[in-house]
Amino acid sequence: MKKIGAWIKEQNGYFLAGLAMAGLVLVLAVLSFFWTPYSTTAMSAAERFQAPSLGHIFGTDNYGRDIFSRVMDGIGETLFVSSLIVLLSAVTGILVGAFTGYFGGILDEIVMRITDAVNGFPSILLALVAISILGSGKQNLILSLGIVFAPSFIRIVRSEFLRLRDADYIVRARLMGVKKLRILFVHILPNIFSTFWVSVTIGFNNAILAESGMSYLGIGIQPPDASLGKMLSDAQGYLGRAPWYALAPGLAIVWIVLGFSLLSEGIRRKGEAA
């Protein structure tokens, strides 16, 4: 216990608050894959539009389904999809950014102009285009948002590799005869993690918002899977009769994004302090 107390004292407030909020989200998300208080699909005409109570802490929706269970499920779904989006774009970012940043030249120019072009459009719009080409569905949603988010990772990784490729210790590694791939991924890559980790958490937040937005528009996650964005759009029609229906998924999105923002800020500050 003493050790934990001492550890907590060392951390900054952003990190602790972020860790607590994001931790709760993660626990709910993991739990939702195995257990929810009620079935997320069980309808009951008798229990329509019940206000929050001890039995249904977030109330019930227009089909009499438990909103808390559906929010849990939605969080799980959202985190799962967002993680895959970030994974896809971050890996693309590392691979492309490392090579273009380190080697430069004409390939670098071409890739940079492409990322400029991609950055020129709002990301949701681009994702819409990609979805309309690929068709809707969970895999296509991940694929299209992954492609849309990749350029920002490419840029960050590239600029870090560009900065470090002429660092004294990399020049010396070259003189020792270290192979290029090893320089890229063993010598340079670990040095960019603190910067990269911040952009991963920011990207994760953007992915959550984008996924919710797409689902809200009806082209993201499809029923019967629960999704926070889809719940929001469903709740819109009953805003006067059952305000808690919209409030629950809305607050959940705010909670997740705020938690991960605080976490990334905390990590950034820790990196600066070190």
- Binding residues for another protein (CB under 8 A): 167-179, 182, 187, 190-191
CB 175, min distance to another protein, A: 5
Nearest C-alpha neighbor of 80 from the set 247, 207, 199, 261: 207
Q: Which is nearer to another protein, 6 or 176 (CB)?
A: 176
CB 173, min distance to another protein, A: 7
Q: Which is nearer to another protein, 113 or 172 (CB)?
A: 172
- Which residue, chain included where needed, has tokens 């909670």? 255
Q: Which is nearer to another protein, 79 or 170 (CB)?
A: 170
CB 204, min distance to another protein, A: 23
Render 103-162 in DSSP notation, one character per residue.
H-HHHHHHHHHHHHHHHTS-HHHHHHHHHHHH-SSHHHHHHHHHHHHHHHHHHHHHHHHH
CB 139, min distance to another protein, A: 36
CB 7, min distance to another protein, A: 20
Q: Which is nearer to another protein, 46 or 274 (CB)?
A: 274
CA 57 to chain centroid, in Å, comes to 27
For residue 123, what are its two tokens? 């990301």
Q: Which is nearer to another protein, 136 or 191 (CB)?
A: 191
Report how many helices (DSSP H) and strands (DSSP E) the chain contains, helices first: 11, 0
Cα 28 from Cα 232, distance rounded (Å):
19
